[in-house]
Amino acid sequence: MGTIWTAFLDLLPGNWSAFESWPIWRFLLEGLWVSVQIAVIGIALAIVFGVIMAVARLAPVAIVRVLATTYIETFRATPLLLLMFFVFFGAGRFNTEWTTGSPILRCFVDDGSGDLTARSAAIIALALYNSAVVAEIIRAGILSISKGVLEASRCLGLTYMQAMRYVAIPMALRRMSPGLVSQLITLFKDTSLAALIGLEELLRHGRLVYENPTYSSQTVEILTVIALLYFIPNYALSLLAARLERGPDYRAAPEAEATLETAVGRG
Amino acid sequence: MDPQSILIWSYFVLVLPLWVAVEVKHARSGRRPAWWPWLLWPVRALALAGVAWAAYGVTFGAKTFWEDVWDQFKEHYPALLRGYRMTIVISVLSFLLAMLLGGLLAVLRTSDYRGLRAFSGAYIEWFRNTPLLVQLFFLFFALPKLELPVIGRPDWFLLSPFQAGLIGLTMYTAAYTSEALRSGLLAIDKGQTEAARSIGLNYLQTRFYVVAPQAIRVAVPLLTSVFSALFRNSALVSAIGVTELLSTADSIQQDNFQTFELYTLAGVLYLSLTLPLAYASNRLERRVARAR
């Protein structure tokens, strides 16, 4: 196996000797795993806070609406790198010792010094920025459901909760899903910014490899592999987003119609 | 527990949920008992008093903070405004270049030749699905070491930070502008082209005088938000050593440790660029939606 791989690498233009051995791959993949982790935690937090902010922005109470709008517009318009620096370098001024007493909060701080870790700073910054963007996506999804749809389902005898559960929420979810998936792509790309605050993720590990004198002549090859490691999951996600945008496959419609007919009974 | 924190906790645990419950009950239709207004207004007053107190605290308790921010601005404004100018210059220049490149890519993407379509599609997918930071690192750190078959390793591959930042931002943004322009091109009905051709315009005239003006009009709101994103992305060129707004604020902060003040200042300066664009994007979007 190893010899086939080496022979393949020899065929490629350039010097790929760094990728002949497993440890370099393992080092890069460990970085990728950290990137994936903070992307997943980041999108989960962003969706939770995004839903809250979207609902708050549609609230009937003016002061809530104003606060949510301020939050959304401010964080959407701030550079993410600035937010990361703000959270990571700025948090040093706060006393974070009290967080070690709480079982959840202590995950965010370093055990030794009690400072905010680079990983939690990156997650907080990603969640702040992306929750604002996700809130706008969700708000657009909610607003796109016309009132007539809800009224029609109420006329058919569904209760308010049933109309929400079976009609409005599925429609809104389907309309938001392409936007949410492309925001996940952006978020995964943005995890690379955490390299600049010293988090050991994919780009930082790649830099550590090509700044090593042994591999310094292979910067081009190493950066290409890093770009590919970002590209593959993102491209898969972008295909998924395009698929979601196209909507359900209507070529399957005749079959569905037939099932409906058998279910309802003809005439 | 001191009385102040009891007050704050009871506000969040008692008053706010009560307020929400009352507002929800009030917003629903149906008959309400006669004593209802007597409950509604005290709860609202209590909750708004909490909000007002918090607002008072933020404005006047934070007064010294904003004074510090202003002091930092007064002390360092030449450097900060130079960084601000660099952010604007690099963003505007690369937006103009990205419009040209993106227009070309959009035309290729909608052309009749499969090879051109595939090339443009591959470019767009590659640049949209890899991080900008990796692209900038490639241009700045890897390109000088790239050995090409025929031309070898030319001197001009060694880019200055500004050149690398400009090229990187342009190539990254072109993928987005081309998508915006393409959506504009696709929004124009085929009948327009056919009508223009049938009254005697040739292919290029049709594209320039009939399709392009309408397509750009559809694309303008999208392009505005791409431009706003470009302002935010331009912060990344600080990583390869361009002295723009963020890296200026960062280097001052490393000298005097006024971290919060300087980052806040940088944030306010960024918002002065991006908020008007976000507002314009919203307005234009509504206007285009109404016109169609």
Quick check: B113 pLDDT over 90? no
What confidence tier does A265 reach under pLDDT thresholds 50, 70, 90? very low
The C-alpha atoms of residue A16 and residue A22 are separated, in whole angstroms, by 13
Mean pLDDT over residues B20-28, rounded? 76
Q: Write the residue in A73, A90, A220 that is nearest to B142 by C-beta.
A: A220
Query: Two tokens at B227?
Result: 């431009």
**What percent of chain B has pLDDT above 90?**
41
Quick check: B33 pLDDT over 70? yes
Closest residue of B to A234, CA-based? B129
Closest residue of A to B26, CA-based? A60
User: Looking at residue A259, what is its pLDDT?
Assistant: 47
CATH number of B64-291: 1.10.3720.10
Q: Do B260 and A93 touch (CB under 8 A)?
A: yes
A238 contact residues in B (CB cutoff 8 A): 125, 128-129
Q: Write the residue in A86, A190, A220 that is nearest to B146 by C-beta.
A: A220
Top-confidence residue, B157 or B85: B85
Angle between helices B212-233 and B259-291 (to 10 degrees): 170
The size of the A-B interface in CB pairs under 8 A is: 114
Contact between residue B72 and residue B261 where contact means Cβ atoms under 8 Å apart: yes
What is the ipTM for the molecules in this complex?
Answer: 0.84
End-to-end CA distance of chain B: 61
Q: Do B236 and A193 touch (CB under 8 A)?
A: yes
Q: How remote is the C-alpha of A168 from its chain's centroid?
A: 25
Q: Do A190 and B131 touch (CB under 8 A)?
A: yes
Q: Do B232 and A79 touch (CB under 8 A)?
A: yes
What confidence tier does B168 reach under pLDDT thresholds 50, 70, 90? very high
Angle between helices A169-190 and A22-57 (to 10 degrees): 140
Structural domains present in chain A: 23-246 (1.10.3720.10)
User: Looking at residue A171, what is its pLDDT?
Assistant: 83
B51 contact residues in A (CB cutoff 8 A): 63
User: Looking at residue B89, what is its pLDDT?
Assistant: 96
Q: What are the residue ranges spanned by the domains of chain B?
A: 3-61, 64-291
Closest residue of B to A211, CA-based? B141
Q: Write the residue in B23, B246, B274 that is nearest to A60 by C-beta.
A: B23
Q: Do B146 and A196 touch (CB under 8 A)?
A: no
Provide the chain B residues 15-34 that lie in CB contact (below 8 A) with chain A: 23, 27
User: Looking at residue A34, what is its pLDDT?
Assistant: 94
